[in-house]
């Protein structure tokens, strides 16, 4: 199993699955380009994993979503798993993450999504990293 996992890692590395890259064949991790909030109020950061027909996200391996907000942004849970998804049994899980900011300005939330993507005979590890800018306004001006 370790040898297969190592081989899968080499294949993924060679295929160019890196942070900020275009969607790789077989899957797409959908994260907004920007999150806009009003100071003192909560909003939702949506993260969804879409997979192509004939593939599946392994249920035998962990699906991990790590969130690292900059100071000024509050997220109650920094590590999420499949059980935290809106529908944990869905083939393409999605997450609705409550986010709050109390001061105006711009900050970021680093998002890392890890899972194993499986075809009929083999699985490969997926590791996607993105940064979401969080723009916080005072909400006092009528835009």
For the chain, which domains are there? 2-137 (2.60.40.10)
pLDDT of residue 22: 46
**Which 8-state DSSP code applies to residue 1?**
-
The 3-state secondary structure of 33-71, one letter per residue: CCEEEECCCEEEEEEEEEECCCCEECCCCCCEEEEEECC
Q: Nearest to residue 123, comparing CAs of 49, 12, 15?
A: 12
pLDDT of residue 102: 87
User: DSSP 3-state assignment of 110?
Assistant: strand
User: DSSP 3-state assignment of 6?
Assistant: helix
pLDDT of residue 123: 94
pLDDT of residue 14: 36
pLDDT of residue 141: 53
Q: The pTM is what?
A: 0.78
pLDDT of residue 133: 97
Per residue of the chain (143 residues), what is the pLDDT tens digit? Answer: 444 444 443 333 333 333 444 455 799 999 999 999 999 999 999 999 999 999 999 999 999 999 999 999 999 999 999 999 999 999 999 999 999 998 899 999 999 999 999 998 899 999 999 999 999 999 765 44
Q: Find residue 2's DSSP bridge partners.
A: none
pLDDT of residue 15: 37
């Amino acid at each position: 199993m370790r040898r297969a996992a190592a081989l899968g890692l080499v294949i993924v590395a060679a295929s160019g699955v890196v942070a900020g890259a275009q969607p790789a064949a077989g899957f797409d991790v959908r994260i907004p380009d920007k999150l806009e909030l009003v100071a003192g109020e909560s909003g939702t950061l949506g993260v969804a994993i879409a997979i192509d027909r004939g593939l599946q996200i392994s249920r035998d391996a962990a699906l991990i979503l790590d969130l690292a907000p900059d100071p000024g942004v509050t997220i109650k849970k920094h590590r999420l798993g499949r059980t935290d998804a809106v529908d944990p049994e869905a083939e393409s899980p999605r997450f609705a993450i409550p986010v709050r900011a109390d001061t105006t300005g711009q900050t970021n939330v680093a998002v890392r999504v890890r899972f194993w993507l499986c075809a009929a005979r083999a699985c490969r590890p997926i590791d996607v990293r993105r940064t979401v800018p969080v723009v916080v306004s005072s909400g006092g001006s009528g835009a």
